[in-house]
Amino acid sequence: MDYNGGKIVPKDFNTTDQENCCSGMPLLGLLGEVDISRLTGREREVLHLLGVASSNMRIAHRLGISERTVKKHVANILEKLGLSSRLEAALVAIVQHDLVCLQ
């Protein structure tokens, strides 16, 4: 590890690695613009649990529903929000935590 400009980086880390590593950062800004108002209350609950890395089985147990229903909710969330993976959904839950967790 080297100390480089206030950052600790591996010795074999080069500028190409840095460019590739940081190229996805604008995605976080875009995820903050996703309109979650189209989600039902139950879909928001599922989205919140995705944001804390819960598995489908754990979500099903926590909400008292079947795993198949959880999978359907996840699919609906992805479709409504225009996302391509549950990871993106989890990031939306984190970036928009205050909106997802409205009580």
| Contact criterion met (CB below 8 Å) for 8 and 1 | yes
Q: Cα separations (Å) of 11 from 4, 8, 21, 48?
A: 10, 9, 16, 38
State the pLDDT at residue 95: 85
State the pLDDT at residue 9: 45
> What's the whole-model pTM score?
0.69
Instruction: List pLDDT tens digits, range 23-45.
Output: 544 455 555 578 889 999 999 99
